[in-house]
Amino acid sequence: MNNQINKYLFNHIVGIWLIILSCLMIVIWLNQSLRILEIVITQGASSIEFLSYSILAAPLWMIVTIPISAFIAILWTLHRFLADREIVVMHAVGLSPLQLSIAPISFSLILCFLLFFNSLVLLPLSFSKFKTVQDDVRNTIPKLLIQDNVFIDIDKNLTIFIGEKHSRNAVGNVFIQDRRDRIHHVTFTAKSGEFRTLKNKPVFVLLQGQRTETSVELRKSTTLSFDSYTLNITRANEKQSTLERIKDANEESVSNLFKRELALNDRYWRQRYAEGHYRLSSPIMVVSLSFTAVALFFYRLSKQLSNVKRLLLAGLLGFGIQILYIVSKSAVINYPFLWPSMYIIPVVPVIIGFLSIVRSSQKDKLLNFQLAEL
């Protein structure tokens, strides 16, 4: 019977957790999509690039959303079960708080292992691809601006005229005036062309054309015919982004985050150091919050403690633990020797919560024994 009750409780928690997690992920996705859409629209990225841009960042969001959604799901489930007197009935038939806590604690342990896999394996892989897609989109010429028979200023001193637009990347009858070099102005004419990204830079590959270079000072010009010519069309405000970028901490493995020689300076190393401990300790938060919720809801079931008070107290404690954990990460950035605090803060509630559940179970058993004697 005990296994059936735990399975019943477990299924309810999972169902509510999936709903809450989906809502949180959708809210974050919508918020991030507004920023992504600005880049996608101006750069003319495809819907596939937009979806990739959105989904690849999901593992980063899960580090925060999974513990919070699990905490809310456990709180809501226990609150409803207590309000409907289901837990009271379970307790009356002889099940102790320790036995009733098996389902929510097992659920939190499963999520903890999932978060460890996410932090150690999934996040570095997905976020690295996310940054690659981000750079590709940002460094791609805004092709939506390219229209037939219209002069387009790609940059202040770079003008392109397209006679025919065959597809999203391929065009025909190309005329380009490049005045980015103040001394030498260059004019290109080509039968066809294609927009590409080469070594993280937007380029325009011209086919079967002529290149005419004019010296402003000497007033001389030279013409060169070509079968293929690759023109760098990087805009001035994108020159910095086309350089080899510095890896984000979320792209790095945990072992690399602790290597001081990979950091550019001391401040950057302290940030990476704190991030490394965050990746290792953050999965414990889901267990910590779960023990907090369970311990408070199962605290002396025989004691007349308002269900609303249990809910509010559990919520406040869970919120307080999250705040302390965030503060500890900030403190480690400034004072790396405080790194143990990032493990102590989530572990202490687990220990206190477990002892509280055991103590409540023992006292409730003693009370039941005394009532039976009477």
Three-state SS for 163? Answer: strand
Rounded Cα gap, residues 48 and 46, in angstroms: 5
Q: Is the dihedral of CA 241, 40, 54, 63 positive or negative?
A: positive
Q: Is the dihedral of CA 33, 38, 41, 43 positive or negative?
A: negative
Rounded Cα gap, residues 10 and 312, in angstroms: 22
Strand partners, 198: 201
Rounded Cα gap, residues 39 and 18, in angstroms: 31
Please report the pLDDT score of residue 22 as a whole number: 93
Nearest Cα residue to 329 out of 319, 314, 318, 339: 339
Please report the pLDDT score of residue 357 as a whole number: 84
Give yes or no for a contact between 142 and 43, defined as CB atoms under 8 angstroms apart: yes
Both structure tokens of 152: 């387009």
Q: What is the DSSP string of 231-294?
A: EE---GGGTTTTSPPPPPGGGS-HHHHT-GGGSSSHHHHHHHHHHHHHHHHTTHHHHHHHHHHH
Rounded Cα gap, residues 350 and 358, in angstroms: 12
Q: Is the dihedral of CA 253, 259, 263, 268 positive or negative?
A: positive
Nearest Cα residue to 154 out of 138, 176, 170: 176
Please report the pLDDT score of residue 301 as a whole number: 55
Please report the pLDDT score of residue 162 as a whole number: 85
Strand partners, 161: 151, 175
Per-residue pLDDT of the chain (374 residues; tens, 9 = 90+): 567 888 888 999 999 999 999 999 988 888 777 766 665 555 555 566 667 777 888 888 899 999 999 999 999 988 888 777 777 677 667 777 788 888 899 999 999 999 999 999 998 888 888 777 666 665 555 554 566 777 777 777 888 888 888 776 788 888 888 888 888 888 999 998 888 777 667 788 899 999 988 887 767 788 888 888 888 877 655 444 444 556 777 888 888 888 888 777 888 888 889 999 999 999 999 999 999 988 887 775 545 566 777 788 888 898 999 999 999 999 999 999 999 999 999 999 999 989 888 887 665 554 443 333 33
Three-state SS for 208? Answer: strand
